[in-house]
Amino acid sequence: MAFLDILKQIVDSFEGCIGGIVIGIDGISVEQYMKESANIDFQNIGAEYMNLMKTITDTSRTLGFEEPGQLIIEYQDTTLIVRSINKDYFVILAAKNNGNIGKGRFLLRKNILNFSKEF
């Protein structure tokens, strides 16, 4: 299944989700899918969050932790879920906070193998 199909399946089944992106740690986007109503600059968010992931990974190693598998950032209205596919690629989902964040996490976990098969 292509990246777009997997993203579409997750985003459309995840109530409150605005969209998702598959992106390299270098900040270059591989694929993205947004709901029609989405008003969000995913390329920019993805690139900035990939920079953050590098910093978080460095800090984690300093503390004796392994690389983080998942990061959830809750803003007042929006939640971002950043999950690693492998050490070079990540999926980021954005959702409204009144959405079902738990279901989003579940769908991402369930589909992570489908993403990794594409590499």
Task: Give the CA dihedral 12, 7, 85, 48, nearest 10 degrees.
Answer: -90
Pattern of binders to a second copy over 9-48, x per CB under 8 A?
A: --------------------------------x--xx--x
Distance CA 26, CA 88 (A): 8
Task: Give, in degrees to the nearest 5, the angle at Cα 1 between 13 and 39.
Answer: 45
Q: How far is the CB of 111 from a second copy (least distance, A)?
A: 16
55 touches a second copy by CB under 8 A: yes
Residues in contact with a second copy by the rule CB under 8 A: 41, 44-45, 48-49, 51-52, 55-56, 59-60, 62-63, 65-76, 78, 102
